[in-house]
Amino acid sequence: MELNNLTIKRADELLRERQVSAVDLTEYYLKNISEKNRGLNAYLEVFEDAKLSAVEADSRRALGEDGPLLGIPLAIKDNILIEGHIASAGSKILQNYKAVYDATVITKLKGAGAVFLGRTNMDEFAHGSSTENSAYGVTRNPVDTDRVPGGSSGGSAAVVSGDMAVASLGSDTGGSVRQPASLCGIVGLKPTYGAVSRHGLIAMGSSLDQIGPLTKSVDDAEIIFNIIRGMDPMDSTTREYPLGRDIPGKMKLAIPKGFVGKGVAPEVLENFNATVKRLQLKGYQIDEVELSNIKYALPCYYVIMPAEVSTNLARFDGVRYGLHVDGANLMEDYSKSRAHGFGAEPRRRIMLGAYVLSAGYYDAYYKKAQEVIGLIKRDFSKVFSDGYSAIITPTAAGPAFKIGEKFSDPISMYLEDVFTVSANVTGVPAISVPMGFAERDGKKLPLGFQIMAPHFREDILFKIGRDAEF
């Protein structure tokens, strides 16, 4: 039986019909990993207990239990805690840290019977858009191994695109699920802020982070989301997820006026316009609307995010856990451990964040950025209150770029987030679905179509996403 490129939905059908077992699926993916991972560096570790989890899932099915994730092999980003396993966040400073508890999303997935294949590579502490910043080497894009898979959840995207897992979990602070999904030709969902617990996620920007799935279809993203969402007493930002609301029969979609154009690859514009026309033929009304402050989302993000990074990374001092380097005194212990443990990008963001929070600069930068984010939120609210069900843009300005192409140019790398950060600063849900290809060096490189909906309206994303899927 052909098992390549299975979706969750199809794998669940095969399991329920007893055509395959969870052990069969797990062995298939472990074989793929052994054959492909050396060339991609997408997994940092393959879990030895994966087969045992599959045996347990088969036993549960034999006893009559059912469920869409029971026995489904998944991969987990290296910044999500799984008890007893290393969670390094792609950094040397946590290279030997073993989680002492499960993240809430892991507890929910274990309850659903998912099989965890391993932990995936990522930009260090999720700082990056290419997975070139990992302390454990670059991850390569399965579509073209000379190119990046995107970031920071590049490993999670690569294992799904490369058929080394049915689906995976990543985290999204400024586009870190959606941008790699776009560059690898899969689906990536960033849920509403507060819809999914962050308990057990190693924090980057606490007001921006969300855990989300990377999958082969919109249906699969919905399956995982429905299992991991919900209120968690361990995360005070979560709330009970509202259910049972109607989806409008005829939806209006908004394109930010003047925002999708300059600096965007011609193939991205061509495929974006083709997707818009396809949706119009399906009955969607699509208009250009004024979102005058959306252009400030990226600079605001790169003020707020480093400020939160500098605060969150202060706890990694080489004393309580993680890498420790001896110095002549306690202060030297701190400085040597952090100097050896943090890579260049975390250091850059720590310094930027400390600067914008410092006396004399807080009002000029951090406070001003927060005020502008308030204006962006107001613009989004107005568009939604005017009857638009979603805002649409490309996910990224171009296809996957070559490894090393932007690595020494931080500004060029930061611009990779231009379309995605607005969903994080406003807290709305967003999804990226494949929308076509751009040809480079004789290879067809995937492109992504992004949809943003009002808070807690992931159901609208799934409806439009299914209609837009390429």
Summarize pLDDT for 395-406 with one digit per residue, the tens. 999 999 999 999
pLDDT at residue 108 is higher than 80: yes
- What residues pair up with 80 in beta bridges, in sequence order? 201
36 band by pLDDT with thresholds 50, 70 and 90: very high
Q: Which of 176, 310, 422, 432 is catalytic?
A: 176
Q: Coil, strand, or helix at residue 228?
A: helix
pLDDT at residue 69 is higher than 80: yes
Neighbours of 280 (CB within 10 A): 12
Spatial distance between the Cα atoms of 417 and 376, rounded to a whole number of angstroms: 16
Q: Coil, strand, or helix at residue 141?
A: strand
Q: What is the pLDDT of residue 249?
A: 87
Compute the chain's Rg from CA coordinates: 21
pLDDT at residue 320 is higher than 90: no
Buried/exposed 38-53: b ≥16 CB within 10 Å, e otherwise: eebbbbbebbeebeeb
Q: Domain limits of the chain?
A: 8-228
318 band by pLDDT with thresholds 50, 70 and 90: confident
Bond preceding residue 130 cis, omega within 30 of 0: no
pLDDT at residue 357 is higher than 80: yes
Query: What is the rounded average pLDDT of the residues 81-94?
Result: 98
pLDDT at residue 125 is higher than 90: yes
- What residues pair up with 289 in beta bridges, in sequence order? 256
**DSSP label at 435?**
E
Q: What is the pLDDT of residue 240?
A: 94
pLDDT at residue 321 is higher than 80: no
Task: Let me know if 152 is a catalytic residue.
Answer: yes
Q: What is the pLDDT of residue 408?
A: 86
**DSSP label at 364?**
I
pLDDT at residue 103 is higher than 90: yes
- Residue 431: phi and psi, rounded to 5, are -135, 145
Residue type, 318: G
353 band by pLDDT with thresholds 50, 70 and 90: very high
Query: What is the rounded average pLDDT of the residues 434-449?
Result: 97
254 band by pLDDT with thresholds 50, 70 and 90: very high
What is the length of the chain?
A: 470
Q: Which residue from 225, 253, 293, 217 is spatially nearest to 454, judged by alpha carbons? A: 253
**Do 112 and 227 touch, CB atoms closer than 8 A?**
yes
Query: What is the rounded average pLDDT of the residues 17-24?
Result: 97
Neighbours of 157 (CB within 10 A): 35
Per-residue CA distances from 348 to 282, 299, 302, 309, 353 (Å): 47, 16, 12, 10, 9
Q: Which of 130, 152, 182, 337 is catalytic?
A: 152
Q: What is the pLDDT of residue 148?
A: 98
Spatial distance between the Cα atoms of 43 and 54, rounded to a whole number of angstroms: 19
Angle among Cα 284, 289, 294 to the nearest 5 degrees reads: 120
126 band by pLDDT with thresholds 50, 70 and 90: very high
Query: What is the rounded average pLDDT of the residues 130-135?
Result: 97
Q: 8-228 has which fold? A: Amidase signature (AS) enzymes (3.90.1300)
- Is pTM, for the whole model, over 0.85? yes
Query: What is the rounded average pLDDT of the residues 25-36?
Result: 98
Residue type, 342: F
pLDDT at residue 458 is higher than 90: yes
Task: Classify strands 285-289 and 252-256 as parallel, antiparallel or unpaired.
Answer: parallel
Q: Coil, strand, or helix at residue 388?
A: strand
Q: Which of 53, 77, 129, 422 is catalytic?
A: 77
Q: What is the pLDDT of residue 261?
A: 83
Residues whose CB is less than 8 angstroms from the CB of residue 156 and which lie 6 or more positions away in sequence, other chains included = 75, 76, 77, 120, 122, 168, 169, 170, 177, 180, 214
